[in-house]
Amino acid sequence: MKTIITTKNAPAPIGPYSQAVLTGNMLYISGQIAFNPETNALILDDIKTETNQVMQNLKAVLEAAGMTFNHVIKSSIFISNMDNFNQINEVYGSYFDDSNAPARETVEVARLPKDVNVEISVIASRD
């Protein structure tokens, strides 16, 4: 059985998907981009600001499911330019304790939705 997780504190889906799905103790959060949920505007000022908005969106969905970044066991980061990796990694890393950081991959892709520079999805567990 699955439970759909939604929150007004993160951007509403722009297609046929949910913000997150909880099944058992596992939470699967859809890829987040830098939409500001209050204004529905994309935040593309610079790569650090953009990445921070993505992480804030993930945080809001985690909180809606009663979780935190400490519950994240796997992250997938998709970026449009690997030259931005260090700046993205710096912001991303500020949300995790190094001793409890999740598994992760970072992949450069040709294009992302709305022509953003970064999209991140996570899997979290209550265990």
Count CB atoms within 10 A of the CB of residue 4.
Answer: 9
Q: What is residue 117's predicted lDDT score, i.e. its pLDDT?
A: 98
- pLDDT digit string, tens, across residues 13-62: 989 999 999 999 999 999 999 999 999 999 999 999 999 999 999 999 99
The predicted model scores a pTM of: 0.97
Count of residues in the chain: 127
Q: What is residue 71's predicted lDDT score, i.e. its pLDDT?
A: 98
- pLDDT digit string, tens, across residues 66-95: 999 999 999 999 999 999 999 999 999 999
Q: Name residue, tokens 């190094």.
A: 98
Q: What is residue 66's predicted lDDT score, i.e. its pLDDT?
A: 98
